[in-house]
């Protein structure tokens, strides 16, 4: 079992943290070699041993360690509190930057739109019409009343991406999450902030700005399971708006594959437009024919792939 943990942490260091967070890379390599850190993780259930949760819990309890020795000291002194946070919390990273890759797809839908997000976390991706965007050749300012609070989301868009010239009209919005986070609760905000990796100060600033917007609007996110509770929410949406169901970085948490496929059938039965921005592994059947230049996430509208996107919405490559 220790080996399984070591392999997982080595993989995380090499494929996720390298180039993105030198601190997380060094901590992950350290955990892969450390008997005491692995013994600590073995006291937790298997689904609670992943690096993102472990490192965020350490930082939530004790601040950011300055290296592996400091990390060991923190685990030694505050291990019980860290384990408690890991039991109670999950990785619910809410990345408003993903709205920048959602926008070109939303803009092509006849509105006004009723937007329904499953796996919404604190609901920051429910506010694409309240942020500004900078695609280089096209720039959209945040709407009046949200400047200068709103973030301007930067996104590198390939030439053939159909960039919108105006913000979409969203007349109704709501989300579902297993555990909605509340932007008005300091503990939840602190957890959201801690989920941003230590060196990523631009992401942190963007998150804080988006939280500022969410505090003005308070997007409704209900507690529920996307496998059971989607239909009720879709029925709440106004009938004269175009209902759009979307999700991003969520369905990798939904297992087995059969549950994802049942969810897909359920969305289709609602008659809503469906936008999925997920790892291509989530619905391999939709991307099997796309063999070249795969990206981290695949954006699909009503099962049809439309673009490869970067995980935090920092780039979009439209498919021809
Ligand atoms: C990584 S976060 C992504 C949040 C947001 N979509 C974004 O892109 O910023 C995944 C979210 O999905 C939620 N989630 C996972 N499984 C779920 C389920 N079966 N039903 C509802 N929400 C779920 C988690 O609680 C978490 O808040």
- Cα separation, 238 vs 241, in Å, equals 6
Judge contact between 126 and 237, C-beta under 8 A.
no
* pLDDT for 2: 53
- Asked if residue 1 has pLDDT above 70, the reply is no
3-class DSSP state of 169:
coil
Mean per-residue pLDDT over the chain, rounded? 95
Three-class DSSP category at 87: helix
Whose tokens are 């070699």? That residue is: 33
Q: Is the pLDDT of residue 288 over 90?
A: no
Architecture of the domain whose range is 96-318:
3-Layer(aba) Sandwich (3.40)
User: pLDDT tens for residues 35-47?
Assistant: 999 999 999 999 9
121 CB near ligand 1 (under 6 Å): yes
- Within 8 A by CB and 6+ apart from 138, the residues are 157, 163, 164, 165
pLDDT of residue 33: 97
Query: Which pLDDT band, with edges at 50, 70 and 90, does 72 fall under?
Result: very high
pLDDT band at residue 236, thresholds of 50, 70 and 90? very high
Enumerate the domain spans of the chain. Answer: 2-88, 96-318
Q: Check whether 192 has a pLDDT greater than 90.
A: yes
Distance of CA 94 from the midpoint of ligand 1 (Å): 9
Classify residue 290 as exposed, middle or buried by CB count within 10 Å of its CB (0-12, 13-18, 19+).
middle
Query: For 111-125, what is the mean pLDDT?
Result: 97
Residue of minimum CA distance from atom 27 in ligand 1: 121
Q: What is the pLDDT of residue 289?
A: 83
**Is the pLDDT higher at 308 or at 294?**
308
Q: State residue 291's pLDDT score.
A: 72
Kindly tell me if the per-residue pLDDT of 133 is higher than 80.
yes
CB of residue 250 inside a 6 A radius of ligand 1: yes
If pLDDT is split at 50, 70 and 90, which confidence band does 153 have? very high
């Amino acid at each position: 079992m220790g080996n399984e943990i070591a392999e997982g942490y080595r993989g995380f260091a090499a494929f996720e943290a390298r180039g993105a967070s030198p601190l997380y890379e060094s901590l992950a390599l350290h955990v892969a070699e450390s008997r005491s850190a692995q013994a600590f993780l073995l006291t937790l259930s298997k689904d609670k041993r992943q690096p993102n949760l472990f490192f965020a819990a350490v930082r939530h309890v004790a601040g950011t360690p300055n290296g592996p020795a400091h990390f060991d000291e923190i685990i030694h002194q505050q291990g019980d509190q860290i384990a408690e946070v890991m039991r109670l919390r999950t990785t619910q990273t809410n990345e408003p930057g993903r709205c920048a890759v959602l926008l070109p797809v939303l803009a092509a839908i006849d509105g006004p739109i009723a937007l329904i997000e499953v796996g919404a976390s604190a609901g920051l991706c429910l506010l694409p019409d309240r942020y500004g965007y900078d695609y280089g050749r096209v720039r959209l300012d945040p709407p009046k009343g949200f400047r200068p609070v709103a973030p301007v989301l930067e996104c590198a868009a390939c030439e053939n991406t159909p960039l919108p010239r105006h913000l979409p009209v969203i007349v109704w919005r709501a989300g579902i999450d297993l555990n909605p986070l509340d932007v008005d609760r300091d503990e939840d905000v602190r957890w959201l902030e801690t989920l941003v990796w230590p060196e990523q100060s631009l992401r942190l600033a963007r998150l804080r700005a988006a939280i500022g917007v969410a505090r003005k609007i308070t997007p409704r996110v209900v507690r529920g399971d996307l496998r059971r509770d989607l239909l009720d929410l879709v029925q709440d949406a106004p009938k004269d708006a175009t209902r759009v169901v979307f999700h991003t970085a969520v369905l990798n948490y939904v297992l087995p594959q059969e549950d994802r496929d049942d969810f897909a059938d359920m969305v289709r039965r609602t008659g809503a437009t469906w936008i999925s921005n997920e790892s291509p592994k989530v619905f391999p059947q939709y991307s099997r024919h796309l063999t070249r230049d795969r990206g981290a996430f695949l954006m699909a509208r009503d099962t049809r792939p439309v673009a490869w996107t970067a995980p935090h919405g920092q780039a979009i490559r439209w498919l021809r």
